[in-house]
């Protein structure tokens, strides 16, 4: 595995890719915390034998174990306050303490995810949590209530796509509703049209 770094203004690589020799940067799910400017998620340990909740700094290439876990978390997401949430293999929503990796169960989403790649992300403007789930009957986009854990289906992906790295662009207009782009499809990118 290689780590590629891009300048997001120019989309040029300022440095050569770095080869990663251990498993500790392999994530089942990860999120970026805008407060600490670190990544948090469900990662493998150094030899790939155990999952753990960890903090990762990709600038310094350091992995800090917060807690070992026997639970797989498919969707990690941080809101603009730096609060971190995770959706487990059992379909439960948890709040994650980013200082020690302790998890507090909020509630069942009502959805039982399958063992495929999926992801979650906050809309930083509205504070809403979205989850691109993968289930035995297909893949779906949900809004997840962070107070109760309950998930409300917004729509389904037509070809049972596995959506990784879900991201909601920050549109910071204060007086106008967001102008969502029309749905586009390509080999590697899908823009989702979501009503505000």
Using one digit for the tens of pLDDT, what is the confidence trace for 33-64?
999 999 999 999 999 999 999 999 988 889 99
Q: Which pLDDT belongs to residue 103?
A: 98
Q: What is the pTM of this model?
A: 0.83
The span from the CA of 109 to the CA of 91, in Å, is 6
Is residue 153 scored above 80 in pLDDT?
Answer: yes
Is residue 133 scored above 50 in pLDDT?
Answer: yes
- For the chain, strand residue ranges (E) read 2-3, 18-19, 27-33, 38-44, 51-57, 62-69, 73-78, 84-88, 92-96, 103-108, 119-122, 129-135, 138-144, 151-156, 184-185, 190-191
Domain ranges of the chain: 2-191
The span from the CA of 92 to the CA of 6, in Å, is 35
Place domain 2-191 in its CATH homologous superfamily: Kelch-type beta propeller (2.120.10.80)
Q: Give the whole-number percent of the chain exceeding pLDDT 70.
A: 87
The encoded tokens of residue 179 equal 């102008």
Is residue 15 scored above 50 in pLDDT?
Answer: yes
Reported as a single tens digit per residue, the pLDDT across 72-98 is: 999 999 999 999 999 999 999 999 999
Q: Which pLDDT belongs to residue 164?
A: 85
Is residue 143 scored above 50 in pLDDT?
Answer: yes
Q: What is the average per-residue pLDDT within 130-159? A: 94
CB 23 within 8 A of CB 38: no
Q: Which pLDDT belongs to residue 171?
A: 59
Label residue 37 left, alpha or beta by phi (over 0 means left) and psi (-120 to 50 means alpha).
Answer: left
In sequence order, what are the beta bridge partners of 68? Answer: 52
């Amino acid at each position: 595995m290689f780590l590629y770094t891009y300048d997001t203004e120019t989309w040029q690589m300022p440095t050569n890719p770095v080869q990663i020799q251990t498993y500790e940067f392999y994530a089942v799910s990860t999120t970026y915390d805008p407060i600490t400017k670190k990544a948090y998620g469900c990662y493998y340990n150094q030899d790939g034998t155990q999952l753990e909740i960890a903090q990762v700094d990709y600038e310094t290439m350091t992995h800090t174990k917060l807690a070992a876990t026997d639970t797989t978390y498919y969707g990690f997401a941080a809101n603009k306050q730096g609060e971190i949430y995770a959706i487990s293999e059992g379909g439960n929503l948890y709040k994650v303490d980013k200082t020690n990796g302790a998890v507090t169960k909020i509630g069942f989403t009502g959805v039982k995810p399958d063992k495929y790649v999926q992801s979650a992300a906050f809309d930083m403007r509205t504070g809403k949590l979205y989850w691109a789930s993968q289930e035995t009957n297909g893949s779906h986009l949900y809004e997840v209530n962070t107070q109760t854990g309950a998930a409300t289906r917004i729509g389904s992906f037509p070809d049972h796509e596995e959506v990784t790295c879900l991201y909601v662009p920050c549109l910071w207009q204060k007086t106008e509703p967001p102008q969502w782009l029309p749905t586009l499809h390509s080999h590697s990118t899908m823009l989702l049209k979501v009503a505000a």
